[in-house]
Amino acid sequence: MSKAIVKKKVEVEDKATVLTDVKVYARKIWLAGLGAYAKAGQEGFEYFKELVKSGESVEEQGKKLVSEQVEAANSQIDQVKSNVTGNVSSVKGKVEVQLDKIEKAFDARVASALNRIGIPSRQDVAALSAKLDELSALLEQVARTK
């Protein structure tokens, strides 16, 4: 009978040891999980800081690139604007010359048409006025001498 009691005590002690071992391992697993969570939190925050720094760097490079492209576009716009202004000035000068030619041709044709129908031109009227002035001056001289 003593064998049976010893066997039962050994079995109870074995069960108690196994249960204690399970509790110890369960606690270690729990602590490992908490440690992993804490470490992930710390490393996650550090990783977040690195991501923010990388984002700031990329943002700065992007702004620099955009400003360079805007500057290049503005330069091209200024070049095109100066070319267009030069072309407009050139065309404007040519148009003014052509308008002057058209105006002179129109004046000549109108004067010619007026002469054909017997209406004197400005030069004819001016010449007649000059002759009248001479005649008036001569008449005044003659009237003074009498």
Helix (H) or strand (E) holding 121: none
Euclidean distance between CA atoms 42 and 48, whole angstroms: 10
What does the pLDDT read at residue 9? 57
* In the predicted structure, residue 12 carries a pLDDT above the cut 80: no
User: Per residue in 27-75, pLDDT tens?
Assistant: 898 888 888 878 877 777 788 788 889 889 999 999 999 999 999 999 9
User: Per residue in 100-146, pLDDT tens?
Assistant: 999 999 888 888 888 888 888 788 889 999 999 999 999 999 888 87
Euclidean distance between CA atoms 35 and 43, whole angstroms: 12
What is the SS3 assignment for 77-118?
A: HHHHHHHHHHHHHHHHHHHHHHHHHHHHHHHHHHHHHHHHCC
Residue extents of the structural domains in the chain: 2-145
Euclidean distance between CA atoms 89 and 67, whole angstroms: 32
Residues 6+ apart with CB under 8 A from 13: none
pTM beyond 0.85: no
- DSSP calls for 24-80: HHHHHHHHHHHHHHHHHHHHHHHHHHHHHHHHHHHHHHHHHHHHHHHHHHHHHHHHH
Q: What are the structure tokens assigned to 6, written together?
A: 């010893």
Identify which of 24-28, 69-73, 91-95 has the greatest average pLDDT. 69-73
Instruction: Give the chain's end-to-end CA distance (angstroms, integer).
Output: 192
